[in-house]
Amino acid sequence: MSTVPSEAGTYCLMLQASRRVGVCVGSLGTFVFVPGLYLYVGSARGPGGLRARIRRHLRRYKPKRWHIDYLTGSSSFRLVGVFIGMSEEGTEGALAKELVRAGMRPYIAGFGSTDDPGVPSHLLAVATSLETCRRTIRRSFSRLFPFRSFFLALDQ
């Protein structure tokens, strides 16, 4: 985690669902997740920046503050990696839209995007292999954050 900067930026979590599971996502309701890969696009602009936000997502037990907390707090999901891009601007909406154009599918309307009405969801389902997904995200990050992004593989 020491390689993750404490500056502001945008990130993309790669989550693997191990089994079919129903998860209550706060006021959005209960949704069924099938085994597979999911992406969550978020931003970190507060104290501690990206480092603090990623550390929070790595903790299994935490207060449920954001929609993503319901997935990262579930034992049915494993965080397998995170792409990180440093930027002062709010670019998570642009990244989510680009990933949808690249073939990722919005999974739950309004998930993580209640304050971003131009984006249907910040949670995306992946229909490709893990490696193909990584290449797609890497290309998107290279376009949006030239020379200011990297991938962090996680073994949890």
Give the range of the structural domain holding residue 142, as residue numbers without chain letter: 9-153
In a domain, 101, yes or no: yes
Domain count, the chain: 1
User: What pLDDT, in 10s, does the model give residues 21-62?
Assistant: 999 998 899 999 999 999 999 999 889 999 999 999 999 999
In a domain, 2, yes or no: no
Can you tell me which residue has the tokens 């936000």? 53
pTM, rounded to two decimals: 0.93
Nearest to 141 by CA among 99, 79, 101: 99
**Lowest mean per-residue pLDDT among 1-5, 77-81, 94-98, 150-154:** 1-5
H or E stretch including 28? Answer: none
In a domain, 4, yes or no: no
In a domain, 3, yes or no: no
d(CA 67, CA 122) in angstroms, rounded, equals 10
